[in-house]
Amino acid sequence: MIILQMLTIVGVISESICQKLSNALSSSKYINNGSHEYLKSRDFESAIQKGYYEKCLLDNHMSELNVYYNPSSQENLSYKSLLEKCTIDPVTGLLLLPVCITFKGLRRGISSTELLESKIIDKETYDSLQRGKTTTQDVMLIETVKEYLEGKGSIAGIAILSSNQRISIYQAMKQGILMPGTALVLLEAQAATGFILDPVENKKFTVDEAVKKKLFGPEYHAKLRSAERAVTGYKDPYSGETISLFQAISKDLIVKEHGIRLLEAQIATGGIIDPVNSHRLPTEVAFMRGYFNEEMNRILEDSGDDTKGFFDPNTEENLTYLQLMERCVVDPITGLCLLPLLDKSNRLNFNFIDYQTKMIFKKEKVKMTCGKYMGMTVSRRDIIQKYREGKLSINMADIISQEVLEDLKKGKKSVLEVTEDENVQMYLLGKDSIAGILLPDSQIMTIYQARQKGLLMPGTALVLLEAQAATGFIIDPIGNRKFSVDDAVKAKIVGPDVCQKLRSAEKAVTGYKDPYDGKIISLFQAMQKDLIVKDHGIRLLEAQIATGGIIDPVNSHRIPVHVAYKRGYFNEELNQILNDPSDDTKGFFDPNNLENLTYLQLIARCVTDPSTGLCLL
């Protein structure tokens, strides 16, 4: 200690550093006298007499000693307090600081414990994280977790349909395209739901960062900082505590109508934000924490003008934020939600996807994770894009009629109406394969689980999983989720022991690479070129036909049989083989009566889960 004081006097170290080091030394078991001799810290009187410590050195600086960061609680503590958080290693006896697993939140990290307490993850996922069996990346693949941590995205900017141009909201206001009031409330909604968005560069910023980047002018800065408090929290003038947007409305710290508008925007984009823990909450948890109540819920559910705080510049209607989002388009390049500005001469745009179409496809695949299937999704949207561009892809595939195509081009039919057609949905999305196993006690389990428990023979389980992979996705019948093969292994829906075989089967969807010309070819073409064993290929092809049609791996959708003939994805000989009821085509096994069946026959013996609609054996 005396050395520290001398170093401070001569200016080698600052007084604040001296205090921090003194705090660390006095909190540990011994005080060093600078000559490799140690005094027990409890014998402070002796240390003071020998000049190793100055009485009351730290007493007037207690608040300044909280400089040691605890990553688990995300707070600054004194060294003594940090030591109290430590555990003792039973082998070495050393003190170890336990650090919990954290996820990225809106403004700060979020512990896995907080996610469990907020009912964003379940106990099983939490335990798996603690044991190291699951990574934070795996958990972020779960769609609901991602939405609570990142949100769904607010209205990012403006789409000028006549020029296929995307611009920021502030830029639209400066060009006289948007009224200043309309622009302000849209920017406030961005700030109150997480970030100010740059729709051109596809970047997001805090309010202070955004003003530096000139995404809006200084005249909006104060108002947007105020709206941003819906994310970072308001300070209670009485207790000094950080409180939520709803609590600020209740305490009259924010005008009620203004607060309702921001709260509705939060709910429309994923959920009410907890400013203390920096993430969105399930509604039931928001109720429990006092961030929402029944009265406010009734106000927001009321369709009266009080809740319609946003303006549609096209129709000059007052709308809720959710209603305005439903009228938006999606930028196919960035995936951002843009408010379209229409004119009388150009109401149909060829470069943007309407928001309702995006929601249909998202609803169908809401449980999908990221990975290479993102490419497949884009391809399916691209099918719809192509008819708008006049390339007639789905018409050429005979998925829609020429008459429907003409109606689409003339605007007599919407994309929504066409994609709601049962036949169109079947060719774009297919019918589900056998998703899992239903036990006599009504318990549902995955096919791989049933194999692990000895309820299915390994060979039976493998061909059922291969059929899933070859018809689109590996299915989790418990969580009602769909995965690519690689993502299914990460999510532990299947084990690594079957990964290679399922990747091979998945090529029936993504395509095989022709070793001679490098082109992507179909399952049938791969069979013809002996890239896959014929019996195996027939089994996978029969599964595709049974679940909606042969898959075109180039365009990433199913096609009618006669179109498959034209494209060389099928022929008469193979059709005769599949129509033959002999054992050659019965590649699947019924474990109940020990019969060999076709996939279609096995599906006919399945039951449907009433809660998920999935097909169970």
pLDDT in tens, 244-262: 999 999 999 999 889 999 9
**Whether residue 526 has pLDDT greater than 50:** yes
Share of the chain above pLDDT 70, in %: 74
How deeply is 323 buried, as exposed, middle or buried, from its count of CB atoms within 10 A (0-12, 13-18, 19+)?
A: middle
pLDDT in tens, 89-116: 888 888 888 776 889 899 988 988 899 9
**pLDDT given for residue 381 in this prediction:** 42
Of residues 307 and 144, more confidently modeled: 144
Question: Which domains occur in the chain, in start order?
Answer: 2-65 (no CATH), 151-341 (3.90.1290.10), 353-428 (no CATH), 430-616 (3.90.1290.10)
Are the CB atoms for 111 and 101 separated by under 8 Å? yes
Of residues 298 and 366, more confidently modeled: 298
Please state, as a whole number, how many other Cβ atoms lie within 10 Å of the Cβ of residue 73: 11
- How far apart CA 231 and CA 271 sit, in angstroms, is 12
C-alpha distances in Å from residue 105, one per residue of 119, 283, 407: 15, 18, 46
C-alpha distances in Å from residue 13, one per residue of 24, 54, 75, 91, 283: 16, 17, 26, 37, 52
Its pTM stands at 0.52
How many residues can be counted in the chain?
A: 617
- How far apart CA 122 and CA 129 sit, in angstroms, is 11
Q: What is the DSSP letter of 61?
A: G
Q: What is the DSSP letter of 65?
A: G
C-alpha distances in Å from residue 582, one per residue of 232, 483, 577, 596: 68, 33, 9, 10
pLDDT band at 215 (very low <50, low <70, confident <90, very high): very high
Are the CB atoms for 336 and 199 separated by under 8 Å? yes
Handedness of CA 177, 180, 186, 192 (dihedral sign): positive
Question: What is the residue whose two structure tokens read 């961005």?
Answer: 190
Please state, as a whole number, how many other Cβ atoms lie within 10 Å of the Cβ of residue 45: 10
Q: Region 164-192: what's the mean pLDDT? A: 93
Helices vs strands, H then E, count in the chain: 32, 33
Q: What is the DSSP letter of 514?
A: P
